[in-house]
Amino acid sequence: MKQSVQGSAGAGTPEPRTPGGDRVPAQARGQARAADGLDGLRERDATVPAARGEHTHSERPIPGPRPAVQRSSVRGQILDALRTALVTGELKPGEVYSAPVLGERFGVSATPVREAMQQLALEGAVEVVPNRGFRVVRRGARELAELAEVRALIEVPVMLRLARTVPGERWAELRPLAEETVRAAASGCPATYAESDRAFHAALLALAGNEQLVGIASDLHRRSQWPLVGGPVRHGRADLVADAAEHTALLEALIAGELDVVRGLVTEHFAGSH
């Protein structure tokens, strides 16, 4: 994806990529750099056998060169890459993907792919298909609207309470995160924007001092970013730029202590998520 960065592998070592051939997203950067002592080591098989019960003979291979993935935090890097592929629609709703075939694409064994897919199943992104692999969950407009409603029920009251109690200088510390959403939106890459969007919202809610709240809200937020069956929603560059502009306006209102403006902005922000 456009937000991908250079990995920590030594010269000549290919970078990890998504199933569509793009590089592994930015959140894997720190993990890869921590693996300096393992540069060049990859977890891969010359031929990755199909796991027992997973039939791959009729599954079309994913085109493109096989990328290398650093041995350190392989599962985490694969999970990040698969999440990016979900946001961009490279992993298509309704399609079934087997761990061995995806493992071949990433140049790793099926095990870390299967572990990452199990995590995505817990998050509701995919479902297990016995003897075949994992199917990307089909989502409709109603589910997206329901997620937006639940997020609003959780986040709006918290934001209004924080607007009355948190001093302006604390809000001002979050300006870099708001500015990052603007830059991500300008890139036009939905995966880049999704990451910065979640980071901004999580930082706002973190001022409440409730880790459970942040975790639940972030999970709902991630689910709301997956595309619908008919294709990506609100993923056009203009939509991303407009959404990021709301972040900036909201933060400035919080800094200024303009409660009525804050109330209107947070209500509009979630209404636009439908």
Domain residue extents for the chain: 26-136, 141-271
Q: Tell whether the model's pLDDT for residue 201 goes beyond 90.
A: yes
Confidence category of residue 144, pLDDT binned at 50, 70, 90: confident
Q: What's the distance, CA 174 to chain centroid?
A: 20
> Which of these ranges, 151-160, 170-179, 231-240, has the smallest mean pLDDT?
231-240
Looking at every residue in the chain, the average pLDDT score rounds to: 78
Amino acid at 61: P
CA distances from 108 to 20, 111, 211, 232, 241 (A): 16, 8, 34, 29, 37
Tokens of residue 127, six digits: 């479902």
The domain made up of 26-136 has a fold known as: Arc Repressor Mutant, subunit A (1.10.10)
**Higher local confidence (pLDDT), 272 or 136:** 136
Alpha helical stretches, state H, the chain:
29-33, 74-88, 99-106, 110-122, 141-165, 168-172, 175-187, 190-206, 211-224, 237-256, 259-271
Whether the pTM exceeds 0.85: the reply is: no
119-124 average pLDDT score: 90
72-96 average pLDDT score: 87
Burial 235-266 (b: 16+ CB within 10 A, else e): beeebbbebbebbebbbbbbbeeeeebbeebb
At residue 180, the pLDDT reads 96
Q: Tell whether the model's pLDDT for residue 246 goes beyond 50.
A: yes
Q: Which range, 14-28, 220-234, 235-249, has the best average confidence (pLDDT)? A: 235-249
Confidence category of residue 82, pLDDT binned at 50, 70, 90: very high
- The Cα 247–Cα 224 span in angstroms is 17
70-89 average pLDDT score: 82
Confidence category of residue 239, pLDDT binned at 50, 70, 90: confident
53-61 average pLDDT score: 55
**Higher local confidence (pLDDT), 82 or 274:** 82
Confidence category of residue 2, pLDDT binned at 50, 70, 90: very low
Percent share of the chain, pLDDT over 70: 70
Q: Tell whether the model's pLDDT for residue 249 goes beyond 90.
A: yes
At residue 95, the pLDDT reads 93
Does the domain at 141-271 match CATH 1.20.120.530? Answer given as yes
Assess whether the region 26-136 and the region 141-271 belong to the same CATH fold: no
**Higher local confidence (pLDDT), 25 or 249:** 249
At residue 50, the pLDDT reads 43
Confidence category of residue 168, pLDDT binned at 50, 70, 90: very high
Q: Which range, 38-52, 138-152, 232-246, has the best average confidence (pLDDT)? A: 138-152
> Which of these ranges, 91-105, 171-185, 243-257, 259-273, has the smallest mean pLDDT?
259-273
119-148 average pLDDT score: 90
